[in-house]
Amino acid sequence: MSTVNDALEDARFTYEQHMHTCRQCHADAAPCAVAKHLLRIYNLARRDHLRSAGRNAPTA
């Protein structure tokens, strides 16, 4: 379970770092191709995190 959480945090951190340091993203206020790719990776990691959390949730 921690690997899913680690992947999510890593993807989020990488995306946020890129948005703060990328000249194009910062100047244009529009994501560049790399930012779009990193956001997709983050969204996939978030989906995996939610799926793993749902699998471990108790059912009534």
58, pLDDT greater than 60: no
Domain ranges of the chain: 2-55
CA distance 35 to 58: 36
Whether the per-residue pLDDT at 46 is higher than 90: the answer is yes
**CA–CA separation, 13 and 7 (whole Å):** 10
Instruction: Give pLDDT tens digits for 28-41.
Output: 878 999 999 999 99
Give the separation between CA 36 and CA 2, rounded to whole angstroms: 25
Q: What angle do CA 30, 19, 23 make, to 5 degrees?
A: 75
